[in-house]
Amino acid sequence: MNTHAKRIKDLQYMLRKHGLDAMVMGRGLEVGFLTGFYLEDCVMLVSRVDAWVFMPKMFVDHFKSKVDFAAAVAADPSAADRAAAKVKELKFKRAAFQPEAETYKRGTAWRKAGLIEKDGLIGALRAVKEGEEIENLRKSCRIAARAFGIVRPHIKTGRTEMSVYRELEDVMQSLGAKGPSFNMIVGFGPDSSMPHHETSERRLRNNEAVLLDYGCVYENYCSDITRTYFHGKPTEEFRKVYGIVAAAQKAGLARVKHGVRTRAVDSACRDLIADAGYGQYFIHGTGHGLGLEIHEFPRMNTVVEAVLRAGMTVTVEPGIYLHGKFGVRIEDSVLVTKTGCEILTETR
């Protein structure tokens, strides 16, 4: 069976398990996950036995030529209205919409049409990767990791952050990537201390930190990697901070395994950094799931409760930020396995 047809079957299995008759989805990403056809302005309706995609007329011919396991329905001007009419026509009693994925306006309309709230089903399906998805993620991560080895030797005194950004992009594309997977960060010196730095025209000087937080999209799948190093002779403080972050990342990676709580991974990193006296400078979560989106379920931080499962892909990325001075973050994307994890962004 086709990968996407199988995903729809998996969702239909979950609908039965959760006592639902049907579910509506409006995000292009979700429609793409279930059909292979990434479309905005569409609404997909999946019942226990059928699947429809309500879409602007202009997409119908193309969709039909690619997908035979979900019905394409021309629905100008409102795909949502047509989907609601279908729910009514088929007298679904327990049809659900996703309160975190729909806008308040559209969710209110779904409620009026008698639909109920149910989050997390598609998120759970998407979180555990299978077959081709894992291959695409492996390739996406391998491209990002290889780019570091190619680009790093060219990062010399006088280069601008933006020129390095573009070289990373070009190299990843020459290795087969479609493009960057997010608004990547190249930060030199104090710029490395800002987790939200916007890559600028600043030039690299002798003896300062270099932070590269980047990744690519390959066949719709995102990779994410951060490398930090010192350009020149590292100061004692940089050495010390780098050592702590590296040890924290190692501790976090060592905890990643099927069945482990995400907070346990976060604690492993956080406790090590706190014990070293830098707790207040680790100012973000330890990692996040990634796949079709650069940030997806599960988040690994001090707040969210979730359990890792084999097949999930997550980042592990502790950091220490000394504002105005320098920051160190070390990040890898990993595949969770039964016995631990496989690092997908290994660099030499």
Binding site for a copy of itself (CB under 8 A): 38-39, 56-59, 61-62, 77, 97, 99-108, 110, 117, 119, 166, 169-170, 173, 179-180, 194-198, 283-284, 301-303, 321, 323-324
Nearer to a copy of itself, 56 or 340 (CB): 56
| Cβ at position 108, least distance to a copy of itself in Å | 7
72: which strand partners? 53
Nearer to a copy of itself, 17 or 196 (CB): 196
Strand order in the sheet with 51-55: 71-74, 51-55, 43-47, 22-25, 95-97, 116-117
| Cβ at position 193, least distance to a copy of itself in Å | 8
Fill in the DSSP letter of residue 159: -
Nearer to a copy of itself, 162 or 343 (CB): 162
What long-range pairs does 335-338 form, CB within 8 A, spacing at least 24? 335/129, 335/134, 335/137, 335/138, 335/311, 336/256, 336/257, 336/258, 336/308, 336/309, 336/310, 336/311, 336/312, 337/257, 337/258, 337/310, 338/257, 338/258, 338/310
Nearer to a copy of itself, 295 or 309 (CB): 295
Nearer to a copy of itself, 171 or 336 (CB): 171
Do 209 and 241 form a contact (C-beta atoms < 8 A)? no
| Cβ at position 283, least distance to a copy of itself in Å | 4
Coil, helix or strand at residue 124:
helix
| Cβ at position 49, least distance to a copy of itself in Å | 27
| Cβ at position 39, least distance to a copy of itself in Å | 7
